[in-house]
Amino acid sequence: METYEKLLLENKAWASEKLHDDPEYFNRLAHIQTPEFLWIGCSDSRVPANEITGTQPGEIFVHRNIANMVVNTDVNLLSVLDYAVNHLKVKHVIVCGHYGCGGVKAAATQHDFKPVLNMWLRNIKDVYRLHREELEMIKDEETRTDRLVELNVREQVNNLAKTSIIQRAWKEGNKPDLHGWVYGLKDGIIKQVFEMRAGTHIDSLYEYDDL
């Protein structure tokens, strides 16, 4: 049996178990989606949003990319954010990174990862540059990388707050609150590292005055 065929068999077993426990389970899911949360996470296979938060399908709207980035030219991310905020009316947007992130580790080096990855990792290098003084005081490499993971999450939350999507929602008196979390691969625990409540004022340069 090919490995991908095992996935299909596991899917059938999972669906059968769900129907056995609740015959209306899929019927309900098919007709309504009302998540309170948008999760912006890393594509790392060890950080599945639903599993590590103990939530069920339909409870979290998910976007994932390398190193959980919020890049202002990423139309994929921005379309997800727009839909989540303006149509699903989520109450919370969570950026969740994780310790031991390969993308963050790579960005802290001077290695060439070829054009596409270099462009993506440049955004994390910018985070390192902003916090260079603090980071280079940390002599242990793993500890320094872990701190860069936390700072990267913080900067991505700030990037969310700078978008006109979030600014407009806040100006209209709507949620969401923004949260920065980091997941520990070694213990499975999520650490809260940053938070911005709806309506938080940021640098006026990024606040739109004609929304």
Catalytic entry in 98, 146, 154, 179: 98
Please enumerate in sequence order all residues whose Cβ is within 8 A of that of 13, keeping only pairs 6 or more positions apart, or say none. none
Catalytic entry in 63, 96, 101, 154: 101
Catalytic entry in 22, 28, 46, 197: 46
Residues 67, 204: Cα–Cα separation, whole Å: 27
Residues 168, 166: Cα–Cα separation, whole Å: 5
Catalytic entry in 20, 21, 28, 44: 44
Is 42 part of the annotated catalytic residue set?
yes
Residue 52 Cα distances to 67, 129, 190, 191, 192, angstroms? 17, 31, 8, 12, 14
Is 96 part of the annotated catalytic residue set?
no
Is 44 part of the annotated catalytic residue set?
yes
Residues 26, 203: Cα–Cα separation, whole Å: 45
Is 46 part of the annotated catalytic residue set?
yes
Is 98 part of the annotated catalytic residue set?
yes
DSSP label of 173: T
Indicate which residues carry an active-site annotation: 42, 44, 46, 98, 101
